[in-house]
Amino acid sequence: MQGSRLIEPLIAGSCQPEFHGVRKAFRQNFVERGEVGASLCVIRGGEVIVDLWGGWIDEACTTPWEQDTLVDFYSVGKAIVATPVLQLVDRGAITLDTAVADVWPEFASGGKEAVTIRQALCHEAAVPAIRESLTEDLSDWATMTTALASTEAWWPIGTRHAYHTNTYGFLCGEIVRRITGELPGEALRRIADPLDADIFFGVPVEEQARCADVIWAPETPTPTGPFDTSTLDGDTLMNVLAHFNPPGASSIGFADPDAGIAFGYVMNHVIPRWQSTRNRALIDALYAHAP
């Protein structure tokens, strides 16, 4: 998918004149870096200075990407799934120092009885990976939360920190469900609907026609089924399980506050994350043209 595309991308939206370089970089992502469909929004000091979308929602390049196209996002969702937990803290239903096991008793197993809500929110809950080997269970909430609760802590509580890559949503979501009965999608609707925010955990059937296809193009093959971890231990085992247990869990930060800039970029052709060639080009163009 890298290299020049044969079809000129359809790009729409607006861009303030002084940021023409950002629009140029956005177009170049399509013609030089394999972009298929994407949206870009940049806000400075509360003002939208770039709002672009373009390309196609499908790999065959037959259906244009529109202003209201929906596309998957990933770890940005962690802040969103944490919001209902913080609302419960704000309401006094729990405190940051409440033990997770006080609202979710099964979570106390495996040396996790002392884990607090604060630690759960801050990636210190000692369950960045599920130890039990799972198969096609990612969409089964009960299976995932039961396996998470029964996982033995990967370190003594309060001694370490590790990014809870694919367990964070189940951890925070189940805390909310135990108190309110709401799954994350229901809790999000209660927050998003009054704001008219076009965001979902679980896209309704009637909105799925707006969804872009996710085109996954890793540099190396990604495990698609159970694999042998018998020779792994310690942090290596934890890291492998965190990303690939169950298979598909990984679908395989940049915000400079002093500048007052918010940068949002989403796409459907997924290449290795963090600083990819595409978002790096957009960021570089933004700062090259920022007054």
Average pLDDT over residues 83-94: 97
Cβ–Cβ < 8 Å for 42, 18: no
Structure confidence at residue 135 (pLDDT): 80
Structure confidence at residue 2 (pLDDT): 41
- In the predicted structure, residue 7 carries a pLDDT above the cut 80: no
What are the Cα distances from residue 289, in Å, to 16, 24, 48, 259, 280? Answer: 11, 12, 15, 13, 14
Percentage of residues in the chain having pLDDT higher than 90:
60
pLDDT digits (tens, 9 = 90+) for 170-194: 999 999 999 999 999 999 999 999 9
pLDDT digits (tens, 9 = 90+) for 37-62: 999 999 998 899 999 999 999 999 99
Angle at 258 between CA 257 and CA 263, to 5 degrees: 45
Record the tokens describing residue 29, joined without a space: 């992502």
Could you check whether the bond before residue 221 is cis, i.e. omega within 30 degrees of 0?
no
- In the predicted structure, residue 139 carries a pLDDT above the cut 80: yes
Q: Which residues are bridge partners to 216 per DSSP?
A: 270
Measure the CA dihedral 148/151/157/161, to 10°: -60
Does the predicted model carry a pTM greater than 0.75? no
Cβ-based burial of 215 (10 A; exposed 0-12, middle 13-18, buried ≥19): middle
Domains of the chain, first to last: 11-71+257-289 (no CATH), 76-244 (3.40.710.10)
pLDDT digits (tens, 9 = 90+) for 212-264: 988 876 555 555 555 677 777 787 787 777 767 676 665 553 237 566 888 88
pLDDT digits (tens, 9 = 90+) for 90-112: 999 999 999 999 999 999 999 99
Structure confidence at residue 223 (pLDDT): 52
Structure confidence at residue 275 (pLDDT): 65
Residue with tokens 């790096």: 280
H or E stretch covering 37: strand 37-44
Q: What's at 84, amino acid-wise?
A: P
User: Quick one: pLDDT band at residue 154, thresholds 50, 70, 90?
Assistant: very high
Measure the CA dihedral 27/28/32/33, to 10°: -80
